[in-house]
Amino acid sequence: MFDLQSLANDVKPRILEAGEMIKDAWDNHQFVTHLKDERDIVTETDTEVEEYLRKALYRILPQAGFIVEEGKTEMLGEYNWTIDPIDGTKYFATQVPLFFTQVALLKNNEPIVSFIYNPVSKQMFQAIKGLGASINDVKVGKREELPLSSSIVHFDLGPTFGAINEWKFELFQSISQLCYRTRVTAGYLAPYLPLGVVDISINTSISTPYSNKNITDLAPHKLFLLESGYNEQLIDYKGHSVLIWASKDKVKQVAKTLQNA
């Protein structure tokens, strides 16, 4: 087993370099886009940054495979990198600074190193399994516990169109009525739990947790939050998967509320 701290030290400059590529495109309004489906887009910067990171990470750990957002996924055995060059491409392409470059190293599908970087705010969220989490090299941990009635809950609802998604609004109402306030983003606020921006993060946009489809989004957040002292639970709500990140007590309260709904 290689040293995770040394590996993370080698990876970090590559993440920062990828961020500079994105920031340069941002500053020069380089937003050439292509549709992936009806609304999802990919920019040339997504493709360029993913290719840069793939080559850089291969040089650091050639025995690892890749699970990527834009290009071709090529998984190997025990170790695989996840790369999402710009998580929040629609925000990036419309000049809203709510996006991250996200990278994680998986060992047997569990994240052991993760980076989440906003190249506009210059915030680097980093975690190493067993060694804790930090933001810009300052260690972070779980915030002081608040009652549910004083808590802010964050939702990543995913698609909401049509009767097939009505259950999400039922879940939203069940939880939001118990909390002080709610926030809805495409997962953007989850890493900010240790800063107290939100107290609970709920994701309803998954079908199978950490499948190749969503692992590039979830794996970096998972390790960062677990190493910050938060808990994770996947529950079944009326036949649908719901992922909860919060303190141990809040996870229990939210799960109990949803299971009794």
**What average pLDDT does the segment 147-161 reach?**
95
pLDDT averaged over every residue in the chain:
93
Q: Domains (ranges, CATH) in the chain? A: 4-140 (3.30.540.10), 148-260 (3.40.190.80)
Q: What's the confidence (pLDDT) of residue 166?
A: 95
| pLDDT one-digit tens code per residue, 203-253 | 998 866 677 778 999 999 999 999 999 999 999 999 999 999 999 999 999
Global confidence as pTM: 0.94
- Residue 39 pLDDT > 70: no
pLDDT tens-digit series, residues 91-145: 998 999 999 999 999 999 999 999 999 999 999 999 999 999 999 999 999 998 8
The pLDDT, as a whole number, for residue 99 is: 96
* Rounded-to-integer distance, Cα 157 and Cα 203, Å: 6
Cβ atoms < 10 Å from Cβ of 226: 18
pLDDT at 221: 97
Question: For residue 261, what pLDDT is reported?
Answer: 72
What band does 37 get if pLDDT is binned at 50, 70 and 90? low
